[in-house]
Amino acid sequence: MEYTFQTLLDVLKATDRPFDLDKITKAYEVAKDAHTGQLRLSGEPYVTHPIAVACILAELGMDNECVEAALLHDVVEDTTVSLEEVKKKFGEDVALLVDGVTKLGKIPLTTKEEQQAENVRKMLLAMAKDIRVVIIKLADRLHNMRTAEFWPEQKQRDKSLETMEVYAPIAHRLGIRPVKEELEDLALQYLDPVAYREIQQKLKDRALNNQNYIEYIKQKIAARLQELNISAKIDGRVKSIYGIYRKVYMAGREFDEVYDIYAIRVIVDSVLECYNILGAMHDLFTPIPNRFKDYISMPKPNM
């Protein structure tokens, strides 16, 4: 997909939030002029990348300054535009975001030791005076990984390892699950392509990504809760390919032994209602022996 400025305008409109389109348009014009003549490895104009990053951030609910900074995030490092020019045209806050992203981009990230990877993650978070800098960097990496097919093979592996060890855990730490899971899936394509394709094919063969099935389960639960006069928010999803990969390949299981490929979440207002719903779920569906976990009475160590 080639991102255009119209793509960004459409995304901003779809968010139904107030944006200062004059400022965003101005940032786009500066980025477009600064990156004139620069191409990505795909052959697309380079400006499509900052536009894509801005789209990702708008979809994540980030603010106007963050979208402006996303459009400008490479101009100081890769063009003749100075940080002082950015500050003069867009204000100190946008300039600080652009400067922060530029500085984070200079930190060497590749490491093979988990403890070193954790140190890098802490350093990235500590160096960012504004957490929006880290979120822009996550969006930057996400779009680069989406287009990693154009990189040389070794770079694909190096960047994928970096993504898995540093960026995905940071997204998890910040609670941005969609970004975390997409980063992990994209990285897995290059770190273990055979396993990735195998799981992807099995999901297709068994139609496990069929949203209709999830909707059926949600409706069944909703009907039961209505009978009990319990108000709840119900959502569902298919687990990510990397999430399944961890259970199959890293835990030494067979694909058919992974019981939680679908995830259904029911959110209520009280612990009592939660336990009442648990009883209702056991009436609706057959519990699997030794698979029940109660993280209310026995929380996970990381909760």
Residues belonging to the active site: 77-78
Residue 134: what residue type?
Answer: V
Sorted by sequence, the CB contacts under 8 Å of residue 177 that are 6+ apart come out as 171
Question: Which tokens belong to 280?
Answer: 């209702």
Comparing CA positions, the residue from 166, 119, 122, 173 lying closest to residue 140 is: 166
- The rounded distance, in Å, linking the Cα atoms of 269 and 146 is 38
In our burial notation (b when 16+ CB lie closer than 10 A, e otherwise), range 132-169 reads bbbbbbbbbbbbbbebbeebeeeebeebbbbbbbbbbb
Q: What angle do CA 171, 59, 69 make, to 5 degrees?
A: 80
Q: What type of residue sits at position 128? A: A
SS3 category, 266: strand
Residues 6+ apart with CB under 8 A from 251: none
